[in-house]
Amino acid sequence: MTLDVSRLSRALMVCACTLSLTGCGGSDAPEPHSSPADAAQWVAPSTETPVREQAIPRGRLGDAVVPTAYALNLNIDPDADRFSGRVIIDVRIAEPVDVIYLHGKNLTVSAATLSAGETLIAAEYAQVDPSGVARLSLPISVSAGHARLTIDYGAPFSTTLDGLYKVEEDDRAYAFTQFEAISARMAFPSFDEPRFKVPFDLAVSAKADHSVISATPVRRTETAVGGAVRHVFEQTPPLPTYLIAFAVGPLDINDAGALPPNAIRHEPLPFRGAAAYGKGARLAYALESTRPLLEGLETYFGTPHPYPKLDIIAAPDFAFGAMENVGAIIYREQRLLLDENASLKQRQAFVYTHAHELAHQWFGNLVTPLWWDDIWLNEAFATWLAYKVSDQWNPSLQFSLRLQRLALETMATDALASTRQIRQPVESNDDIINAFDGITYRKGGAVLSMFERFVGETAFRDGVRLHMDRHANGVATAEDFMQSIADGSEDERVVPAFRSFLEQPGVPLVSASVQCDGVPTLTLAQQRYRPLGSAVPEGGDWQIPVCFVALDGEQAEETCHLLTKPRETLELQQCPQALLPNAAGAGYYRWTLPSDGWAALLDRIDRLSPPEQLSLIDNLDAAFRAGELEFSVLRDALPVLAAQPNWEVATRLAKAWALYQNSLVDEAGHAAMRAALRTAYAPRFEQELGLQPDPKEPNNDALLRGRLAEILVRDAADSETLARLAEAADAYIGPQGGAMQPGALPGDVIEPALIAGVIERGPAFADRLWARFETSTDAILREHILTAVATAPQPEIAAEARRRALTDDLRSNELLQVLRDQFAASVTRPDAWEWLRQHADAVLARLPETSHGRIAKYPEQFCSPERRAEITAFLEPRVESLFGGPRTLDQTLEKVDLCIALKQARGEQVAQAMAAAEPVPAP
Ligand SMILES: [Zn+2]
């Protein structure tokens, strides 16, 4: 395009009022502080031919125009339907352009200009892709240099928990934000990619009686139009768009006072909690636990919390667990608002969520991924470190064991042919959404844990510190991270080994066999784990840090070896009585043994640590699924495992057991499997623990009690437990019109007891639960009640939960809970599936677009060709329009296929093993 001077001057005339940068609308938005002092750096009209318009950038924006600073001025009144704003973006233009691509989604733009010193050019704004790609078209081309974009716009508040959205409770309205991954563009025009880390000057005009929270402290407040108050915030350090946040409304602010200085941080850190009106007092536990967790992280990194203040905010409705926004972490209420009756499980969930978000302040916020393909590094790191610092603070809640269990559970997905590698190329918005999954968080966290053990805790930490130091306030890639760990630990072997786990999908299976004729040797072989019916190709090429334990008499000797070849043979000192191929359960791999090897370990299970016991149980189950182990081994192991002291260990097999009982056998087999669960678990619950806790009991007992109650009610259908818990639930809920009796149930048993109440007492009890639900704004109580009614075996009770899920009785996150619970329970799954197919559009309308792909995950536990055909017929035609849907559907279908294959190959064996079991004594 050549310069058109007449068009330029017209453009100048049209928008002369914007020369002042206070705008045609008369607003006095703050300005970014990055304008060039030297006029020669401004762009100018250019006679050069602009680089010709490229295709619409649906993935990454190009490098032709990049932001250097933002000033964002918003008018937010949650009582209205819309908000408005002006954004001023200073940009650097690398080559002549007449078109600028950026992001903006569903925004109505009233004016857009590009200015450069005295030059002012009106631009035409248009959204050109539904994902929120926008184009500014200039009437002329401009040269390389600096320029300033000014855009005035308005938009409706989102109603689907993304972007800038509204929540109402008790006739009070609030506005919150959720920008990660690609929803900042719903709140303001922006270059909405993580690599663009620049300072923000933020200001919000709000009602005088509303609180406003954002990333930094308020610098000043001033009166704005119509009696509103304008909150002007301190300029932020360099940040990407996805980490900006706002919370506006009649919030309860619980000012805990600053977190005091410590050995690492020499200044106090201003710190507050915020919640919806009337709920501030329930922040007490969260506020108290922040100091030790934050100090644990500051000690680990050796640097203070990187930002000038910290607010933690409970939103009455929130799509995720929490979001690590700089200075303003937002949580769903179920995570943050805990009263004294909260269960240990809820406290555990709060602690690791909170530690995770705090860890992000360094990993993710201070050092940010260049692009979404490295989001795993954010999430894996925060996951791993959260469990580590939580364990340091309160080991009795067993956080590390939980991370290990979650990683083992993720191996079920990672065993699919349709799994993805941790570091997956991200080309589309589907890829971005898929990147937030168990592979990223849990496999990623477990792999970090494995390599920390490989290089040593201190050496690994030194590598992490080096990484923070090298890239503070900037962006970094996985390559940068691996190099930092190699440099910090002075161990270059870590790079290729780490990469073999990052850039290769699947779970390695290490086969270990000991030969004792002559010199004792151990042969280790690796291949990709393949369950029965798997389409996974053979092979696998990992560099696996294998640590094994040779058990001999009272001796247990650990040896570590980096397995780099398909098969290697090592000499042993002596022939061990038993061999455990994954010391401390710390390696992200499955392992297998010859059949006498399993037996030798089961005979010595008391000699293994809880993580090793978990590893053993999971690998027994994996060997069964791969067709390598008879079901009778699992059957005989159940009572042995159920008697183990650690609660995670004791109840681990019950989960797989319940899946088998619901999918592999007919009613006779089902009854026998239920009975086996009762025999294994009822005595521990009845006699060893009792319903009411001893005030001095260890946390392990409380956690075990809760999980046993759940197994006995749901999977074993134990009539005595059902009757006893239903009675306690009756007392707990209290009479219609009377008060609840919180003391009637310990926190960890509330949910199974309410489930028992519904099973035993039917619709009358469900009605009493709904009456409590309707008058309660306590998110945790509502969660328990919903689970109890949603999973009811009585179809009319479960149907009522679904009916209400599409009304205002339930919040959007509660709709997701109903679906999750109903699809998880085999008794409600068929009706839920029928309903979802009828109401899919209404369900999707209540969810953030980025969560739409989840509906393709719900039917994953079906196990018949007929259901598979239904899933295909329903989801295939619509999956392309669901964010992240295509891969999710592939995984769902593959899980169904694997279940069908397992049933065909082993269903009969399971039934026979159960029929041959010792008859269960009558209760
Ligand atoms: Zn995270």
- Residues 376-391 pLDDT 10s: 999 999 999 999 999 9
Whether residue 47 is predicted with pLDDT greater than 80 in this model: the reply is no
Which residues, including other chains, have CB under 8 Å from residue 263's CB and lie 6 or more apart?
299
Element (H or E) spanning 653, and its range?
helix 647-663
Of all residues in the chain, the percent with pLDDT exceeding 90 is: 85
pLDDT digits (tens, 9 = 90+) for 205-232: 999 999 999 999 999 999 988 899 999 9
Q: Is the pLDDT of residue 787 over 60?
A: yes
Distance 374 CA to ligand 1 centre (A): 13
pLDDT of residue 626: 97
pLDDT (0 to 100) of residue 34:
63
Measure 866 CA to ligand 1 centroid, in angstroms.
38
Whether the pLDDT of residue 4 is over 60: the answer is no
The pLDDT tens digits of the residues spanning 486-495 come to 999 888 899 9
Query: What is the rounded average pLDDT of the residues 848-852?
Result: 86
CA 632 – CA 595 distance, rounded (Å): 12
> Given the DSSP bridges, would you call strands 145-156 and 108-116 parallel, antiparallel or unpaired?
antiparallel
**Spatial distance between the Cα atoms of 652 and 460, rounded to a whole number of angstroms:** 31
The pLDDT value given to residue 918? 66
Tell which wins on pLDDT, 679 or 736.
Answer: 679
CA of 337 to the centre of ligand 1 (A): 19
Alpha carbon distance 470, 738 (integer Å): 61
Dist. CA 882 → ligand 1 center (Å): 23
What pLDDT, in 10s, does the model give residues 791-807?
A: 999 999 999 999 999 99
**β-sheet with 124-129: strand ranges across:** 97-103, 133-142, 124-129
Q: What is the mean pLDDT of residues 250-271?
A: 96
Of the listed ranges 28-32, 650-654, 900-904, the least confidently predicted one is: 28-32
Using the mean position of ligand 1's atoms as its centre, give its distance from the Cα of residue 300 in Å.
18
429-450: average pLDDT: 89
The predicted structure's pLDDT at residue 459: 95
Give the Å distance between the CA of 327 and the centre of ligand 1.
15
Q: Is the dihedral of CA 781, 783, 789, 792 positive or negative?
A: negative
Per-residue pLDDT band at 53 (split at 50, 70, 90): low
**Among 433, 437, 322, 420, which residue's Cα sits nearest to residue 372?**
433
Q: How far is the CA of 188 from the centre of ligand 1 (A)?
A: 23
Distance 358 CA to ligand 1 centre (A): 9
pLDDT digits (tens, 9 = 90+) for 93-112: 999 999 999 999 999 999 99
Can you give the pTM of this predicted structure? 0.93
How many whole angstroms from 375 Cα to the centroid of ligand 1? 9
Tell me the DSSP string of 709-721.
Answer: HHIIIIIS--HHH
pLDDT for residue 35: 64
- Measure 847 CA to ligand 1 centroid, in angstroms: 20
Residue closest to 786 by CA, chosen among 806, 803, 769, 768: 769
State pLDDT tens for residues 557-579: 999 999 999 999 999 999 999 99
Note the pLDDT of residue 1.
24
Cα–Cα distances in angstroms (integers) from residue 807 to residues 78, 159, 499, 766, 800, in the given order: 21, 14, 48, 18, 11
Is pLDDT larger for residue 429 or for residue 873? Answer: 873
At residue 3 the predicted structure's pLDDT band, cuts being 50, 70 and 90, is very low
Give residue 854 CA to ligand 1 midpoint distance, Å: 18
Say how many Å lie between the CA of residue 369 and the centre of ligand 1: 13
Question: What is d(CA 501, CA 421) in angstroms, rounded to the nearest whole number?
Answer: 8
What is the 3-state secondary structure of 312-335?
EEEECCCCCCEECCCCEEEEEHHH
Task: Give the SS3 label for residue 259.
Answer: strand
Residue closest to 527 by CA, chosen among 437, 598, 626: 626
